[in-house]
Amino acid sequence: MERMTPLEVGRAKLLKAETTETHRRLDQSIMAGRPFESRDRYALFLQVQHQFHRDIDALYANPDLDRLLPDLAGRRRFGDVEQDLGDLEVATPAPATAPVFSGEADIPTALGWLYVAEGSNLGAAFLIKEAAKLGLSEDFGARHLAGAPEGRGLHWKTFTAALDALELDEAEEARMIEGARAAFRRVHGLVTDVFA
């Protein structure tokens, strides 16, 4: 299949446009669960985060993705979520399903999932302020919401610049978009199950 050159509009902007409605519904669903009303409610939010980051944890050790994305291993947050659960003395939830990714991964699909994970870290700037009202911080209970040492904006720009520079054909673009949509649907399903 003929290779496309990197997108003029930017792949991150394309993904944002293709997932805006799904993203909006997810944000509304999370806030409807009142995750910052109490530490007990926040613990439910952590359970959602635990399952999502468990789903994608294998991607951060994938050598093919590591060649494409800067500091991939340093972007991993699953261990931070586990520490946050420990801080609050919440048992690590038993997984309801196998991780979405384990072993080999379709790279374009994985890129879509990582776009959602990285974007959630950008949005966590608001969430960590809400967590602080519960006495939580990047050192206790809200480690996974902490910004990168270089700042959230630069961390995100580095990721999106790498994403935008990739050469993908039309079928790969479609799988990447579907991967991002699937990631949003996955988190939405987890929020519905956990906060129900």
- The total domain count for the chain is 1
Domain span including residue 89: 37-195
Domain-located, residue 108: yes
Taking alpha carbons only, the member of 111, 29, 31, 22 closest to residue 75 is: 111
Domain-located, residue 159: yes
Q: pTM (2 decimals)?
A: 0.92
The answer to whether 14 and 179 have CB atoms below 8 angstroms apart is: no
Taking alpha carbons only, the member of 18, 30, 33, 12 closest to residue 187 is: 30
The answer to whether 9 and 106 have CB atoms below 8 angstroms apart is: no
Domain-located, residue 130: yes
Average pLDDT of 152-174? 94
Per-residue pLDDT at 21 exceeds 60: yes
Percentage of the residues of the chain whose pLDDT score is greater than 90: 82
- Residue 140 φ/ψ, nearest 5 degrees: -155, 110
Could you report the per-residue pLDDT of 52-88, keeping only the tens digit for each?
999 999 999 999 999 999 899 999 999 999 999 999 9
Q: How confident is the model at residue 3 (pLDDT cuts 50, 70, 90)?
A: very low
According to the model, what pLDDT value does residue 9 have? 66
Taking alpha carbons only, the member of 21, 35, 24, 19 closest to residue 191 is: 35
Domain-located, residue 30: no
Is the pLDDT higher at 102 or at 29? 29
User: Which residue is associated with the tokens 């439910």?
Assistant: 44
- CATH number at 59 reads 1.20.910.10
Domain-located, residue 15: no
Taking alpha carbons only, the member of 166, 138, 163 closest to residue 77 is: 138
Per-residue pLDDT at 6 exceeds 80: no
107 SS3 class: helix
Could you report the per-residue pLDDT of 108-159, keeping only the tens digit for each?
999 999 999 999 998 899 999 999 999 999 999 999 999 988 899 999 999 9
Rounded CA-CA distance 76/57 in Å is: 7
